[in-house]
């Protein structure tokens, strides 16, 4: 088939690789120019997902990563507290990557001749069994299948489900990175993804190492990736998204653009709530950035010859760490479904049902984690380990299918690993 993929990020590249290998004629249409490496800082994905991507040759075995095997849940005891008190340390199964390294690995497997930069798709029309994509400068092209991998504000999703609105969750993620060389010590972070809960304020902050410049994981050259979930009421969101030049942004504040008074307010807030070691990391970071958190669920991932993958489909609250997992599964299973069938519409429908159901299950898990981690977290500086464990098992039920996302494997291997042998 001739397949047009809108969006050349994680999901788009994964689909392009898998579908081209399946013998399809694929074109990726990406609105940005010059590569996507500057986005996103760090990204975590389960080790099993990393292994499955290596086994499928979506990324190389040597893709730089840092592995965290512990997930301490922490609160600050008092102002003198340097590292905070973990009430509970959960097992973790996370590969922590530099977003740019991950994208570069995927992109390297897409033929340059099939990856079109600077092509913004502005309309989509279905005509019989053809889908026509169009953009600026009178560009248009027809395909047998259009795949939208255009992220959480997806145009494809709006086309298929015009009444579906992404819902703002009442908090933003404020993020930054700091070079390891600027840390006083690395003690608490060597093997852990730290999650620190504030006292008397909704939200939490996470800290973990990712590979630094050039993918280096050498001691001294890593980056600390940090991310603070901070409540911002819906009524204040548009004011929050005004940058230092007075321009309003709709979806995020790019690195370095936050108003100095807002950045100073957030840094002061973190000095109030974080143990001093972590507050110093936030304080020393510049070019911070922020994005409001939205979620959405889709009833289907495909209608007719239009399919949605990655964040263009369902978006769960970010605590499941499943964005890469879901993007990869959408792409891999789409290629498999098309390879195993001569009836394209039926293959797409079967694939769509599986992906939409998985998206809903991930969203349900994400909502539980959001309640537990953002809105209803206890004070971990006073809880005993027994109390903390009772809170954890009561607050979140991991379906076996996703239990490995949090290192709680319950002795069962994840489904996709069996398939890939990864
Ligand atoms: C706060 C936050 C934290 C996260 N942390 C994690 C994490 O730790 N682990 C994890 O697995 N996931 C995480 N995710 C999710 C993860 O970032 C995504 O799921 C993943 O990057 C897949 O994205 P994607 O390829 O579907 O879309 P995106 O990365 O959003 O890419 C969409 C692409 O489409 C292009 N595009 C958009 N519109 C058009 C158009 N009209 N024409 C042409 N091109 C277009 C864009 O330029 C872009 O390149 C997080 C998400 C958020 C919001």
pLDDT at 73: 95
Ligand 1 atom nearest to 122, measured from its CA: 41
pLDDT at 18: 97
Ligand 1: does its nearest atom lie under 6 Å from the Cβ of 292? no
Ligand 1: does its nearest atom lie under 6 Å from the Cβ of 266? no
Ligand 1 centroid to residue 331 C-alpha, Å: 14
pLDDT at 187: 81
Name beta bridge partners: 194: 207
Q: SS3 sequence, 125-184?
A: EEECCEEEEEECCCCEEEECEEEECCCCCCHHHHHHCCCCCCEEEEEEEEEEEEEHHHCC
pLDDT at 294: 97
| Mutation choice for ligand 1 from 28, 150, 289, CB with most ligand atoms inside 8 A | 150
Name the residue with tokens 């499928």.
56
Phi, psi at residue 111, to the nearest 5°? Answer: -60, 135
The structure tokens listed for 405 are 């996302």
For residues 159-182, average pLDDT: 96
Q: Which tens digits make up the pLDDT trace of 210-229? A: 999 888 899 999 999 999 99
State how far the alpha carbon of 345 is from the alpha carbons of 25, 293, 348, in Å: 18, 34, 5
pLDDT at 309: 98
Cβ-based neighbour number of residue 25 at 10 Å: 13
State how far the alpha carbon of 372 is from the alpha carbons of 228, 346, 396, in Å: 15, 40, 8
State how far the alpha carbon of 220 is from the alpha carbons of 40, 94, 182, 186, 286, in Å: 21, 21, 9, 9, 19
State how far the Cα of 337 lies from the Cα of 3, in Å rounded to an integer: 15
Under 8 Å CB-to-CB from 258, ≥6 apart: which residues? 243, 244, 288, 289, 290
pLDDT at 413: 38
State how far the Cα of 122 lies from the Cα of 314, in Å rounded to an integer: 21
The torsion of the CA quartet 414, 337, 164, 230, rounded to 10 degrees, works out to: 30
* Residue owning the nearest CA to atom 38 of ligand 1: 150
The structure tokens listed for 290 are 């922020």
* Residue owning the nearest CA to atom 29 of ligand 1: 9
Measured CA angle at 318 (ends 314, 321), to 5 deg = 95
pLDDT at 421: 30
Contact (CB, 8 A) for 404 and 91: no
Q: pLDDT averaged over the chain?
A: 92
Ligand 1: does its nearest atom lie under 6 Å from the Cβ of 36? yes
pLDDT at 36: 81
- More confident call, 92 vs 135: 135
In the chain, the domains with their CATH numbers are 2-39+108-165+295-375 (3.50.50.60)
State how far the Cα of 395 lies from the Cα of 202, in Å rounded to an integer: 16
Considering only 126-140, 227-241, 407-421, which range has the smallest mean pLDDT?
Answer: 407-421
Ligand 1 centroid to residue 400 C-alpha, Å: 26
pLDDT at 290: 96
Ligand 1: does its nearest atom lie under 6 Å from the Cβ of 366? no
In the predicted structure, residue 355 carries a pLDDT above the cut 70: yes
Q: Comparing C-alpha atoms, which of 377, 351, 347, 308 is closest to residue 88?
A: 377
In the predicted structure, residue 209 carries a pLDDT above the cut 90: yes
pLDDT at 39: 61
Q: Which tens digits make up the pLDDT trace of 245-279? A: 999 999 999 999 999 999 999 999 999 999 999 99
Name beta bridge partners: 80: none
Ligand 1: does its nearest atom lie under 6 Å from the Cβ of 141? no
> Angle of helix 323-339 relative to helix 47-55, nearest 10 degrees?
30
- Reported as half-sphere exposure (CB side, CA atoms, 13 A), residue 208 has a value of 27
By CB atoms closer than 10 A (0-12, 13-18, 19+), residue 231 is: middle
For residues 386-405, average pLDDT: 84
Ligand 1: does its nearest atom lie under 6 Å from the Cβ of 41? no
Q: Comparing C-alpha atoms, which of 62, 66, 44, 286 is closest to residue 186?
A: 66
Q: Which tens digits make up the pLDDT trace of 27-77? A: 999 999 987 866 658 899 999 999 999 999 999 999 999 999 999 999 999
Contact (CB, 8 A) for 214 and 208: no
pLDDT at 34: 81
In the predicted structure, residue 417 carries a pLDDT above the cut 90: no
- Reported as type and span, the H/E element at residue 105 is helix 99-107
State how far the Cα of 66 lies from the Cα of 191, in Å rounded to an integer: 9
pLDDT at 40: 59
In the predicted structure, residue 422 carries a pLDDT above the cut 80: no
Q: Which tens digits make up the pLDDT trace of 125-136? A: 999 899 999 999
pLDDT-above-90 percentage for the chain? 85
pLDDT at 420: 34
Ligand 1 centroid to residue 312 C-alpha, Å: 8
- Reported as type and span, the H/E element at residue 261 is helix 260-273
Name beta bridge partners: 210: 223
pLDDT at 406: 62
For residues 344-352, average pLDDT: 96
């Amino acid at each position: 088939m001739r397949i047009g993929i809108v969006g050349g990020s994680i999901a788009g590249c994964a689909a392009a690789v898998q579908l081209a290998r399946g013998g399809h004629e694929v074109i990726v249409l990406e609105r940005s120019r010059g590569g996507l490496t500057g986005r996103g800082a760090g990204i975590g994905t389960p080790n099993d997902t990393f292994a499955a991507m290596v086994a499928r040759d979506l990324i190389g075995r040597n893709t730089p990563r840092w592995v965290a095997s512990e997930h301490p849940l922490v609160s600050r005891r008092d102002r003198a507290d340097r590292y905070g008190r973990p009430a509970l340390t959960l097992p973790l199964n996370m590969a922590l990557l530099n977003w740019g390294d991950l994208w570069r690995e995927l992109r390297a497997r897409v033929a340059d001749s099939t990856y079109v930069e600077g092509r913004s798709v502005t309309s989509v029309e279905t005509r019989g069994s053809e889908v026509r994509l169009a953009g600026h400068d009178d560009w248009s092209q027809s395909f047998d299948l259009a795949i939208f991998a255009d992220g959480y504000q997806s145009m494809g999703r709006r086309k298929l489900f015009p009444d579906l609105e992404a819902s703002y969750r009442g908090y933003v993620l404020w993020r930054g990175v700091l070079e390891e060389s600027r840390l006083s010590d690395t003690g608490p972070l060597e093997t852990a993804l730290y999650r620190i809960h504030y006292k008397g304020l909704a939200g939490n902050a996470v800290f973990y190492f990712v590979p630094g410049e050039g993918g280096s994981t050498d001691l001294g050259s890593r980056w600390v990736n940090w991310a603070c979930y901070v409540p911002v009421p819906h009524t204040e969101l548009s004011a929050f998204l005004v940058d230092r030049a007075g321009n309003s942004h709709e979806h995020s504040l790019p690195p370095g653009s936050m108003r100095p008074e807002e950045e100073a307010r957030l840094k002061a807030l973190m000095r109030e709530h974080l143990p001093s070691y972590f507050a110093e990391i936030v304080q020393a970071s510049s070019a911070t950035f922020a994005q409001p958190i939205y979620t959405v669920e889709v009833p289907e991932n495909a209608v007719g010859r239009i399919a949605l993958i990655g964040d263009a489909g369902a978006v769960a609250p970010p605590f499941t760490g499943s964005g890469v997992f879901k993007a990869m599964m959408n792409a891999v299973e789409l290629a498999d479904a098309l390879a195993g069938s001569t009836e394209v519409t039926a293959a797409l429908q079967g694939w769509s049902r599986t992906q939409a159901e998985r998206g809903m299950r991930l969203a349900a898990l994400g909502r539980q984690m959001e309640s537990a981690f953002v809105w209803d977290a206890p004070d971990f500086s006073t809880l005993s380990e027994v109390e903390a464990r009772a809170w954890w098992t009561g607050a979140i039920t991991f379906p076996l299918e996703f239990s490995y996302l949090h290192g709680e494997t319950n002795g069962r291997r994840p489904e996709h690993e069996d398939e890939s042998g990864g």
